[in-house]
Amino acid sequence: MVKGFLKFLLALLIAAVVVVGGLNAWVVLSATTDSYTLEEAQEQVVQAECIVVLGASVLPDGTPSDILKGRLDAAIALYESGAAPVIVMSGNGTESNYDEPFHMKQYAIEQGVPADAIVLDRAGYHTYDTMWRLANIYGADSCIVITQEYHLYRSVFDAKSCGMDAVGVVSDNGTYNDQLWYDVREVASRCHDGFLALTGAAPENQITPFEY
């Protein structure tokens, strides 16, 4: 009885490892050939309808965290090189005291980006939500995704799964204190988004409009 139970648990463990490993491999491999450094993207004149910056933490004084600043700086550089006419700032912006897209826009304007070249998506709570909304509500057919390398594969995968032609540009500007946690969390997130892609799921928030 005990041996049979242990064999059952082992079989479950093996199945879980296969599923997790398979989904992660699918997500990573599907995006590997469409990922660039900022320099490569500029040299190869990568172009799309829009550049999308995925939200991250904003500090209490409204300044972007190091991770978010890296994404914004890369997006601004690409915009200035003519990669796309619009930057979409997507993140959590529905709380009265916390609005990532607003502060992302303010930072970009301070760096010289025209206000009318920035679009806000305040319902981009998760990466898949952002890409689904970008394709189905904003109506984009192509995009350049800006984020850190550990997150880039899933971001490009999600964009493609939602029907867009997408490339990713790495925005790493150093190492991060919580990198191990980000890497571990990303394994689970790839599995989650892989299932969403397989089922063609739509996010709950399909109402909040993009703001110009």
Share of the chain above pLDDT 90, in %: 57
Asked if 190 and 154 count as a contact pair (C-beta separation under 8 A), the reply is yes
**Max mean pLDDT range (16-20, 33-37, 42-46, 124-128):** 124-128
Q: CB burial class (10 A; 0-12, 13-18, 19+) of residue 44?
A: exposed
pLDDT at 18: 61
Residue 180: pLDDT band with limits 50, 70, 90: confident
More confident residue, 208 or 119: 119
Q: What mean pLDDT do residues 28-49 have?
A: 87
pLDDT at 181: 74
Residue 210 has pLDDT above 90, yes or no: yes
pLDDT at 19: 63
- Considering only CA atoms, which of 111, 106, 49, 53 is closest in space to residue 80? 111
pTM: 0.87
More confident residue, 151 or 184: 151
pLDDT at 3: 66
pLDDT at 95: 75
Mean pLDDT of the chain: 87
Q: What mean pLDDT do residues 3-30 have?
A: 64
DSSP state letters, 56-84: --B-TTSPBPHHHHHHHHHHHHHHHTTS-
Residue 65 neighbours by CB under 8 Å, 6+ apart? 56, 57, 58, 59
pLDDT at 29: 74
Give the model confidence (pLDDT) of 43-65 as tens digits: 888 899 999 999 999 999 999 99
Give the model confidence (pLDDT) of 132-146 as tens digits: 999 999 999 999 999
Residue 206: pLDDT band with limits 50, 70, 90: confident
Tokens coding 25: 């491999």
Residue 103: pLDDT band with limits 50, 70, 90: very high
More confident residue, 7 or 161: 161
